[in-house]
Structure 1
Amino acid sequence: MSARDAAEAAFKKTTTKPVEAAVATKAPAIPGAREQVSLRIDRDVLEHFQANGPGWQDRLNAALRKAAGLA
């Protein structure tokens, strides 16, 4: 093994994350916690929920929960 190969192997060894650390694990969900996401929806759907003023995000969430069979 050349000096260059040895140096590259040492560098790779110190900069590569172990396999178990590379796997992303999600923290346990907190009951009732909300998560911020980006969501693309049709303009008319957005206008429908915004038409009744503040609280449109809660109304949209409730409609999604109902459609998913969670409410």
Structure 2
Amino acid sequence: MSLGTFVMDNFVWLVFIMFVIVVAVINVEVYLHYCYCRDRPRKLLNCNLSRRIFCQQMMNLIMSMMIKPQLRAQ
């Protein structure tokens, strides 16, 4: 079983896996951009207001989850 026949037999699966990886990377890029574009609009895309609010709420939620246990400890 040589590499060439392996690639030909599994070509569809390899393309599918590559496609999934590319889509995941693009989603992460877009998510990070939307979460960090408050200060610099139009870096990659126009900032979507609802996305910005959603991201701010998520950040606030994460921060409050990190801060509250520390306050209780004191």
Which interval holds the TM-score relative to the shorter structure? Answer: under 0.3
Structure with the greater alpha carbon radius of gyration: 1
Provide the TM-score with structure 1 as the length reference: 0.26
- Structure with greater contact order relative to length (CA < 8 Å, sep ≥ 6): 2
Provide the TM-score with structure 2 as the length reference: 0.25
